[in-house]
Amino acid sequence: MITVVGLRSFPVKGCAGIVHSAVDVGLMGLAHDREFLVVGPGGVGRTQRRDPRLAVVRPEVVGGKLTLSAAGFGEVGVVVDTEGPRVGVTMFGDPYRAIDQGDEVAGWISEVLGAPSRLVRVPPEHHRVIEGPTSGVSGFADSAAVHLLSVASYRRLCERIGGDAVPIDRFRSNIVVDGLPAHAEDDLRHCAIGPVRLGFTRLAVRCTVVQVDQVEGTRAGPEPLRTLAKYRRADSGGVTFGTKLSVVVGGRIAIGDELVEKSV
């Protein structure tokens, strides 16, 4: 049996995740996942690729309030604005519209990162389509709404690295499952977890974010990219680890739920 053993959402792209025992899943992924984006001057989105300190910012979403905290900087709370003026932002060069969340949280994030920054949120009308065998929508995720990884894939990587293998949180997965053979998630095309239906969109191509220590917010390479490049290199030249899925039908899922493969 294939079971869910880990659930984690990332309300602010690049920042720390929230561990769940159960969570609602909508068409844009786990509740609040990548709903917010930190941007720099000109509205350019920040990610751990260039701003690894994002990892030390810990979010909490309760009702309509977002609270951010970081060691040594206290916390800041903001009532989430879903109706304010739309502003232009870019992520990986692509333009989007977003809602700025105000000066107080912007000042706090700028202090933590040591660089001028603002926090924005996807507007209610946000409709970013990610194309693939199963197309879907997502917020500010890199691509498809859900990233899924198997325990067996992670263990195989750790065996290959040897010694002090990297922690699994480096991969920032939404769903971790046990019971699949190593890298069998690559072949998942349609599956269900409870009422939730998911479809394959693309493999997860890994970048330098997996070299960031998610506790310290510092680069700690060259692993795991060095080892992944030896046996997980894709035809495109990148390295893959885990799979990206679009949400076809939403619902609520929990630790211990069974993942069932579907034919359609």
pLDDT single digits (tens) 18-31: 999 999 999 999 99
Residue type, position 5, single letter: V
Q: Tens digits of per-residue pLDDT, 118-167?
A: 999 999 999 999 999 999 999 999 999 999 999 999 999 999 999 778 99
Q: What is the pLDDT of residue 163?
A: 78
**Beta carbons of 84 and 77 less than 8 angstroms apart:** no
Q: What is the pLDDT of residue 230?
A: 95
Cis bond upstream, residue 224 (ω within 30): yes
Spatial distance between the Cα atoms of 141 and 169, rounded to a whole number of angstroms: 16
Whole-structure pTM value = 0.97
Instruction: Please report which confidence band the pLDDT of residue 259 belongs to, taking 50, 70 and 90 as the band edges.
Output: very high
- At residue 190, does pLDDT exceed 80? yes
- At residue 184, does pLDDT exceed 90? yes
Average pLDDT over the chain reads 97
